[in-house]
Amino acid sequence: MTRLLQSLLDGVGVGSTYALLALGISLIFGVMHLVNFAHGELITVGAYTAYFFFLHGGSWWWMPAVIIGAAVLASVATEQIAFRWVRNASPFTMLLTSFALERLSHALWQIFVSPKQRPFPKPAWVFNSLTLGSVRLEVMDLVTIGVTAITLVGTAIVFRRTLFGIAVRGAAEDFDAARLMGVKANRVISGAFAFAGLLAGIAACLIVMRTPSAEPAMGSEWLLKAVIAAVIGGLGSFSGAIIGGLALGLLETFARAYLPDVATRLDRFSTGIVFIVVALFFVLRPQGLFTVSHAERV
């Protein structure tokens, strides 16, 4: 029972970070049919921002705001500099553009900072834990779950109640129709990128609180997981992205807790297996768990 609760807690903790990232990927996919491989780089941007501010006497009191701000700015900048110009090109072109940005980001951090890991101080409370009965609750887990829950509720409110949110949801369903209804494409897409940046910034805060260091390629691992989560949930489906993220987190934690032997043996093949699962998903249920239908008019 204890182990179950513990795994559940850990799984939700990791999974909610995946969910935040997957939501951003799904959001961008919704408005411009792009799987943004550069999305993970927002985490890297956040981490390096934290590193630079700590070099000059930063404090965890205001660091989250700075990290989130940097991620939002970077996200909007990629849209303005790159994605805006390939918006009407083939999905192929957009995908490669995002790939190019990812490469460029890796290389630039390596050249201008260092290929090596750059650590910075962690918040003092991060590894504190409280024991409730027989379950050990890590403060960080609670913070992660709490922050994610608040963010998701906030996101839900934004998408249901505000004009921006409704426009984005409309655009995700059918961009041409949304445009006819007076939705301004540029503003919606910039807004979507800003919002995806905000979600990635929050995720970046949670990630660097746990492992306070910056590394050129740190975003890519997270990106891979987030893309998988978004695919499982059905690209373009917002609730699907959240459930996909949580499912992936729980799956990972439970596999490690309950099947440690199998997990270690399979660890050698982990990426391969995950990708086979994703590939199967694509073949058997290309629309993901949650359908967003796009009927093509002929």
Partner 1 sequence: MDVRVCEVTTKFGRSALSSAVLLAAVFVLASAYTATGGSSRDLLVDEMLTNLMLVVGMQVFIGNTGVLSFGHMAFAQVAAYATAVVAIPVVEKTKALPDLPFGLADVHFGPAGSTAFAIAVTLVVGATIGIVICRASGLAPTMITLAALFVVDQLVKNWKELTRGAGGLSGIPQQSVLWLWGGALVALVVAHVFQEARIGRFAIATREDALAAPALGIRLFTSRYAAWVVSMGVIALAGSLRAQSLGSVNPKQFTLDSGILILVMLVVGGMRSLSGAVLGAVLITAGTELFRQLGDPQRLDIERFPDVFLGGTMLLVMLLRPDGLLGDRDFGGWLRRRMTRRSDVTTVAPVSTGAALEATDITVRFGGFVALDGAGIRVGPGEIVGLIGPNGAGKTTLFNVITGLVEQQRGRIRLGDLDLSEATPVEVARAGLARTFQNLRLFNNLTVRENVALSALVAERHRSHRPPVNIDELLEDAGLAEFAHRRAATLDYGNQRRLELARATALAPEFLLLDEPTSGMSDTESLAMVDRARAAAARIGAGVLVIDHDLGFITRISHHIVVFSEGRMLAEGSPADVRANPLVAAAYLGSQA
State how far the Cα of 190 lies from the Cα of 148, in Å rounded to an integer. Answer: 23
Near partner 1 in 27-46, by CB under 8 A: 35
Residues in contact with partner 1, shown as a per-residue x/- string from 88 to 107 under the rule CB under 8 A: -xxxxx-xxx-xxxxxxxxx
What letters, b where the CB count within 10 A reaches 16 and e where it falls short, cover 193-214? bbbbbbbbbbbbbbbbbbebeb
Cβ 151 to partner 1 shortest distance, Å: 27
Cβ proximity of 171 and 31 under 8 Å: yes
Cβ proximity of 72 and 98 under 8 Å: no
Any contact of residue 82 with partner 1 (CB under 8 A)? Answer: yes
User: How is residue 119 annotated by DSSP?
Assistant: E
Any contact of residue 262 with partner 1 (CB under 8 A)? Answer: no
Contacts of 54 by beta carbon, 8 Å cutoff, 6+ apart: 63, 120, 121
CB atoms near residue 164 (< 10 Å): 17
Which listed residue (61, 124, 132, 297) binds partner 1 by CB under 8 A?
297
Cβ proximity of 42 and 75 under 8 Å: yes
The CA distances from residue 277 to 29, 274, 281, 284, in Å, are 21, 5, 6, 10
Cβ 281 to partner 1 shortest distance, Å: 9
- Binding region for partner 1 (CB under 8 A) out of 4-12, 123-131, 152-160, 263-271: 263-271
Cβ proximity of 270 and 221 under 8 Å: no
- Binding region for partner 1 (CB under 8 A) out of 18-26, 85-93, 206-214, 251-259: 85-93
Any contact of residue 77 with partner 1 (CB under 8 A)? Answer: no
Near partner 1 in 220-239, by CB under 8 A: 231, 235
- Binding region for partner 1 (CB under 8 A) out of 117-125, 134-142, 246-254, 282-290: 282-290
- CB nearer to partner 1: pick between 43 and 235: 235
> Count residues contacting partner 1 (CB under 8 A)?
41
- CB nearer to partner 1: pick between 206 and 229: 229
Near partner 1 in 156-185, by CB under 8 A: none
Any contact of residue 290 with partner 1 (CB under 8 A)? Answer: no
Burial of 181 (0-12, 13-18, 19+ CB in 10 A): exposed
Residue 281 tokens read as: 């998903």
Cβ 270 to partner 1 shortest distance, Å: 8
Residue 144 tokens read as: 């992660």
Cβ 232 to partner 1 shortest distance, Å: 12
Cβ 96 to partner 1 shortest distance, Å: 6
- CB nearer to partner 1: pick between 50 and 94: 94
Contacts of 32 by beta carbon, 8 Å cutoff, 6+ apart: 83, 87, 94, 189, 192
Q: Enumerate binding residues for partner 1 (CB under 8 A).
A: 35, 82, 85-86, 89-93, 95-97, 99-108, 110-111, 115, 231, 235, 268-269, 271-272, 275-276, 278-279, 282-283, 286, 296-298
